[in-house]
Amino acid sequence: MSGPPIEHRPEITAGDVPFRRRPATLQEAKAVAHPLRLRILRLCTLEELTNKQLADRLDRDPGTVLYHVKQLVDAGLLEPAPVRTGASGALEKPYRATGVTRWLETTLAHSVDGGALAPVLAMQQELQAAGPDAIEKMSRFVLHLRPEQLEELALRVVEVLDDYTAGDGERLDQPVYSGMFLLHRLGAPGEPQ
């Protein structure tokens, strides 16, 4: 049984201006450098879940999941939600995402062992669990770009994604989607790919 959907919490603001991307701290970067922790965050963004519910959904041992939950709580990316009464009448301790990760620039996580591929692995696992019919849109491309063009492309795409992220609270009654924007270098022609 899943918990109740998370009620809409207004965007974090500084005055009237919503927060924009900021560099992750080392603790935050380490926390998002693992695919299981990224999957936990995604699940707890959609609804408040207990450790047992997370373990069941992720098909993992509850002890392993609890270790990762604690890492996310310590980094401020996950927080305990109010204790509730479960279906069997027992008290449950759910967790919810704080929303901080929406605005983190996680390049620092790339320097943590396995961190650069953690989002890719998490997305791959989520896609495998959802099945091929879950893919709505996909665009694959190869581009030749000067360094300044690469930076411009990344900034423009992230700006569009940030605009949609900032207004997400207004669309909570709509279907939910997950995605990823990733650019990577290819080897030179003639090199192994």
Beta bridge partners of 79: 96
Q: Looking at the predicted structure, is the pLDDT value of residue 46 above 50?
A: yes
Q: Mean pLDDT over residues 22-39, rounded? A: 92
Any residues with CB less than 8 A from the CB of 83 and at least 6 apart, and which? 91, 92, 93, 94
Q: Looking at the predicted structure, is the pLDDT value of residue 153 above 60?
A: yes
Domains of the chain: 13-133 (1.10.10.10)
Least confident of 14-23, 77-86, 111-120: 14-23
Q: Looking at the predicted structure, is the pLDDT value of residue 3 above 80?
A: no
Residue 183 is given by DSSP the state: -
pTM: 0.80
